[in-house]
Structures are given as structure tokens and as C-alpha cells.
């Protein structure tokens, strides 16, 4: 596995990380604990060094990540997040400094570690000045409990305000072939400030894998049920994007998922996508994207085709969209 540096920091990570949310949160029933631990350890064997979790994914998520990575602790980077009331994303934001410290202490215990390598604010809290948030994390860094500060789904103004107090190592936000909004303002700002970018949902919450169509049914506790872009009508309309990936993948002896991730890797050398999965087969497939080279001609072909495709459906329902980009 190749490695990449997140921005101007000294944080070197595998070119592709592992998003651990889906092991217990968001995409239906939680994975079996032993299977989840085995998956994480297989990722380590395959060269992954960046593992992403969060308080809001439930205590079990951090506990599984901590247990799985305990034998490899000094060889891996663990990222987790703070920022929701009582650790519950349905209750709104809470990034008051005392709460940030409390989350850090609790996460350290659940992760069975003495430091959090990358501590993200999960969503910008409109009720707490960003300077206070960054200052709280700066204090934790001074104490050695946190190594690096990150933001998630933050807007340019918030990024600049935070970075002025405590250098931001990475921004984690959605970015993929079917959500390219970060290219407008976010990527140029990160480039200017020397901040790395960690795209979540690099496979469009599964849609870009080619395994989902208008007839796919999701389990009742899968959050895609409330996402406008996953309505049957939107899935049917967006099939042309998957077809495009399929055509390019065929010429590369690759899969749609691998081409989608390879496209992200080709955008900037400081981009590190974190696809998630519960399946060993998909893990191996996703990581195989690191060895796929897209030529200038391939990238031009994708760009030209994308210019003719209008992706249908909002990526979030309104109440969740309001939390992003602040």
C-alpha cells in the first residue's frame, strides 16, 4: 500500500483508509463483533494505517476499533470525532470546550489508547465560536492526549478560523464522482493552507459500486431510506454515471468501485479516501484501487462524460444538509 501525507503535517497514512462507521451504524444491522475485528485486522495486513470512527457511531464502534487495533497500535493512525450532544447525532451539535475534553477522555478509554491521532469536530457548532473549539483541541494536543486536529463538513470560513488558532491537519467531507461540490472552494482553500482531505462516501454511499439500482431495497434502519438521491427515481436517473464507470473499468480490468476511488486519488496527492465496508471481499476490492493508474486520457474521458450527466437528487434531506458547509 502506498502512503500519503496529509497536507503540510507530518502525518503519513496509507493512500486509502478504512471508514468504520458502517460496522455498527447507519447502514442497517451492526456487523458481528468478531467479524468486524477480523475485517479491521485484515485491513492492517493489507497495509491500511488510517482507521476512522466517532463517538456518534456508538460506544461499540470505538470499542471494536480499539480492540482490533490494540496489537498494532504504534503502526496505525486512529481518527475519531466529537461534536454531538450526548454523542447522539439526532440531538444536534455540542462542541463546548468541557464537552470536547469529556469526549476525548471517554474515547481514549473506549479505544484502549493513550492518544487520539486525529480528533475531528464532527460538524461545526453554530453556538460555539470556532476559536474556542480549536483552542480546546490545542490544549489536548499540548497535553499529548491528541496529536492532530481535524474538521468535518466545515465551510471555508470555519476552516480558516480554526486553522488560525490550531493548525488543521485534515478536513473530512463527502467527495466523489457524484458529489463534486468541494472542488469549488474547499479544495483550493485546503491547497492554500496545506490541509489534507479525507473524503468519506467515496463510493457514493455504495451507489458507485454498480450493485445498487432502482429496485434495491434497504433495511429499515439504513439511513439511505431518507436520502433524496436514493429515491428509486433518482437511482434510475443516475444509472448513467455507473454505466460510465463500468465502461472505463472494463478497459482497466477493474471494477466500478476501483475506478471511482482511483479517480479521487488522482485529484490531489493529499487526498486519502476512507471507503467503508463490512465484507472482506469489498475491502480487498477497494484497496486494489491504489494500484490503478488513470491516464490523462482516462481522466479527460471521465470529465467529458460527467459534464453531460446531471446527477439527480439532494445528497442529504434538508435537516441534515443544514449541518454541512458551515
Grid cell listed for 318: 434538508
The distance from CA 134 to its chain's CA centroid, rounded to whole angstroms, is: 20
Catalytic residue flag (residue 57): yes
Give mean pLDDT, residues 281-298: 94
Catalytic-role residue among 27, 57, 120, 175: 57
Q: Does 3.30.420.40 match the CATH number of domain 3-321?
A: no
Grid cell listed for 251: 478497459
**325 pLDDT band (50/70/90 cuts)?**
confident
Contact between residue 174 and residue 314 where contact means Cβ atoms under 8 Å apart:
no
Whole-number Å distance between alpha carbons of 297 and 301: 6
Residue 318 scores a pLDDT above 90: no
| Per-residue pLDDT reduced to its tens digit, 90-120 | 999 999 999 999 999 999 999 999 999 999 9
Residue 189 scores a pLDDT above 80: yes
Q: Dihedral angle at the C-alpha atoms of 264, 209, 21, 267, nearest 10 degrees? A: 0
Give mean pLDDT, residues 284-313: 91
pLDDT at residue 317 in the model: 84
Task: Give the per-residue SS3 of the chain.
Answer: CCEEECCCCCCEEECCCEECHHHCCCECCCCCHHHHHHHHHHHHHCCCCEEECCHHHCHHHHHHHHHHHHHHHHHCEEEEEECEHHHCHHHCECCCHHHHHHHHHHHHHHCCCCCEEEEEECCCCCCCCHHHHHHHHHHHHHCCCEEEEEEECCCHHHHHHHHHHCCEEEEEEECECCECHHHCCHHHHHHHHCCEEEEECCCHHHHHHCCCCCCCCCCCCEHHHHCHHHCHHHHHHCHHHHHHHHHHHHHHCCCHHHHHHHHHHHHCCCECCCCECCCHHHHHHHHHHHHCCCCHHHHHHHHHHHCCCCCCCCCCCHHHHCCCCC
Residue 309 scores a pLDDT above 90: no
Residue 26 scores a pLDDT above 80: no
Question: Which residue matches cell numbers 488510517?
Answer: 50
Using a cut of 0.75, tell me whether the model's pTM lies above it: yes
Residue 28 scores a pLDDT above 80: no
Alpha-carbon Rg for the chain in angstroms: 19
Residue 305 scores a pLDDT above 90: no
**Mean of all residue pLDDT scores within the chain:** 94
pLDDT at residue 21 in the model: 95
pLDDT at residue 68 in the model: 98
Contact between residue 181 and residue 153 where contact means Cβ atoms under 8 Å apart:
no
**315 pLDDT band (50/70/90 cuts)?**
confident
Amino acid at each position: 500500500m502506498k502512503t500519503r501525507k496529509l497536507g503540510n503535517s507530518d502525518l503519513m497514512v496509507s493512500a486509502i483508509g478504512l471508514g468504520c462507521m458502517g460496522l455498527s451504524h447507519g447502514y442497517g444491522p451492526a456487523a458481528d463483533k468478531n467479524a468486524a475485528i477480523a475485517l479491521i485486522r485484515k485491513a492492517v495486513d493489507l497495509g491500511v494505517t488510517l482507521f476512522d470512527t466517532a463517538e456518534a457511531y456508538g460506544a461499540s464502534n470505538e470499542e471494536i476499533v480499539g480492540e482490533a487495533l490494540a496489537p498494532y497500535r504504534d503502526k496505525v493512525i486512529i481518527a475519531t470525532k466529537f461534536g454531538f450532544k450526548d454523542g447522539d447525532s439526532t440531538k444536534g451539535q455540542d462542541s463546548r470546550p468541557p464537552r470536547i475534553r469529556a469526549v476525548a477522555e471517554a474515547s481514549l478509554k473506549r479505544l484502549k489508547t493513550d492518544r487520539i491521532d486525529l480528533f475531528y469536530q464532527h460538524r461545526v457548532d453554530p453556538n460555539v465560536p470556532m476559536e474556542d473549539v480549536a483552542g480546546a483541541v490545542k490544549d489536548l494536543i499540548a497535553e499529548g492526549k491528541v496529536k492532530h486536529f481535524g474538521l468535518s463538513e466545515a465551510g471555508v470560513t470555519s476552516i480558516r478560523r480554526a486553522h488560525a488558532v490550531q493548525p488543521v491537519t485534515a478536513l473530512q467531507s463527502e467527495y466523489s464522482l457524484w458529489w463534486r461540490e468541494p472542488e469549488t472552494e474547499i479544495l483550493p482553500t485546503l491547497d492554500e493552507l496545506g490541509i489534507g482531505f479525507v473524503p468519506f462516501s467515496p463510493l457514493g454511499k455504495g451507489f458507485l459500486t454498480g450493485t445498487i439500482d432502482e429496485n434495491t431495497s434497504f433495511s429499515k434502519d439504513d439511513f439511505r431510506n431518507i436520502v433524496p438521491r436514493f429515491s428509486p427515481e433518482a437511482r434510475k436517473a443516475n444509472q448513467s454515471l455507473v454505466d460510465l464507470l463500468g465502461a472505463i473499468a472494463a478497459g482497466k480490468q477493474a471494477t466500478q468501485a476501483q475506478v471511482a476511488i482511483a479517480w479521487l486519488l488522482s485529484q490531489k496527492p493529499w487526498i486519502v479516501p476512507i471507503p467503508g465496508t463490512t465484507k472482506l471481499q469489498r475491502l480487498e476490492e477497494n484497496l486494489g484501487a491504489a494500484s490503478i493508474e488513470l491516464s490523462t486520457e482516462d481522466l479527460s474521458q471521465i470529465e467529458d462524460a460527467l459534464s453531460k450527466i446531471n446527477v439527480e437528487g439532494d445528497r442529504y434531506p434538508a435537516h441534515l444538509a443544514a449541518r454541512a458547509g458551515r
